[in-house]
Amino acid sequence: MFCWGSLMKKAILFLALWTSLAAGQEQPSAGTINFSNLVIHGIKRTNRFNRVQRPRMTDDAVLAALRLFKRTQNIDGSWGVGEEAYLATPLVLFSFLGRGETSHSREFSNSVIQARAWLLKAEPKSVPARLATIIVLADYCSIEYASNRPEQWTNETIKIQALTAGLSPTNGGMWSDFAAFYSPHANPQKPAWMRYGSQLEQRYLGVAPCPAPKMVPEYLQCLLGALANFRKDQNAWFEFQRKSTAQLMQWQQTDGSFPAAEGQSRYAATALAALRLEIYYQYGPQY
């Protein structure tokens, strides 16, 4: 069903962001991501839970992961130790947003607020960490901000522009594809590697549904495979969802985490698993 309310929210957000950019903020350089387009065309999850009931067992698994994150968040708002935090923290925050948790959530508001504050101050160096931070801050904007809080958009806009300056997908690999999947529309103001298209979808349609993951790239590949099947058609998604959800859930630990090999981030692995399980649709794409 066409939703005029959703369209109006997008229009208001676009106008406010465009005004702030035009008012003197530095514009993205050639080949970098245009923030307003990234937000407007990102996957929206703010209203989907009003239309789709979460499967109970799947959502229990997601909640167990989010409650683990709440218990183990560092005092500064991050997750993980040292360099690990730069990738783990945006992914964990993304998993909160993926369930519709915001700064107003009853159970997880403090975790969301503190993680966002840490990300605005963080200086990630690696391409994966920068891409993950860009995507989650854009998603945070599209979910959180109403028209009566335009001053809040400036912080994310400036941070995203700083992170995209000189960013190259050369070493991004699957993380570049991750960013493209969550910024799907083929907009000419985005670099080619950030544009979602059928070639990206085809790349991951053959991914086997969730083997026994232990490495962060394996969890990422599982998520990308799910996104590709979700976008393809109803029959492909139903079959993939039926097999992969049960297989992934069996690997969850009693504390809510998912296993990670030595030297791998347990937080990043668990966040990617939660993002996969947060594709709640049972029968096919609804958006």
pLDDT, one tens digit per residue, over 27-70 is: 333 333 343 333 333 333 434 444 445 678 888 999 999 999 99
Dihedral sign, Cα of residue 236, residue 37, residue 66, residue 83: positive
Q: What does pTM read for this prediction?
A: 0.79
Are the beta carbons of 153 and 159 closer than 8 angstroms? no
**Per-residue pLDDT tens over the stretch 92-102:** 999 999 999 99
- Which one has a higher pLDDT value, 2 or 223? 223
Which amino acid belongs to residue 140? Y
Residue 272 binned pLDDT confidence (cut-offs 50, 70, 90): very high
Is the predicted pLDDT of residue 164 greater than 70, yes or no?
A: yes
Residue 10 binned pLDDT confidence (cut-offs 50, 70, 90): very low
- Which one has a higher pLDDT value, 146 or 223? 223
User: For residues 35 and 253, what is the distance between their CA atoms, to the nearest angstrom?
Assistant: 37
Tell me the mean pLDDT in the region 9-37.
39
Query: pLDDT > 70: what percent of the chain?
Result: 70
Residue 271 CB partners (closer than 8 Å, separation 6+): 65, 69, 88, 91, 92, 94, 95
**Per-residue pLDDT tens over the stretch 114-134:** 999 999 999 999 999 999 999
Nearest to 139 by CA among 102, 187, 193, 89: 102
Least confident span in 11-15, 91-95, 132-136: 11-15
User: For residues 178 and 28, what is the distance between their CA atoms, to the nearest angstrom?
Assistant: 21
User: For residues 169 and 177, what is the distance between their CA atoms, to the nearest angstrom?
Assistant: 9
Query: pLDDT > 90: what percent of the chain?
Result: 42
Residue 84 binned pLDDT confidence (cut-offs 50, 70, 90): very high
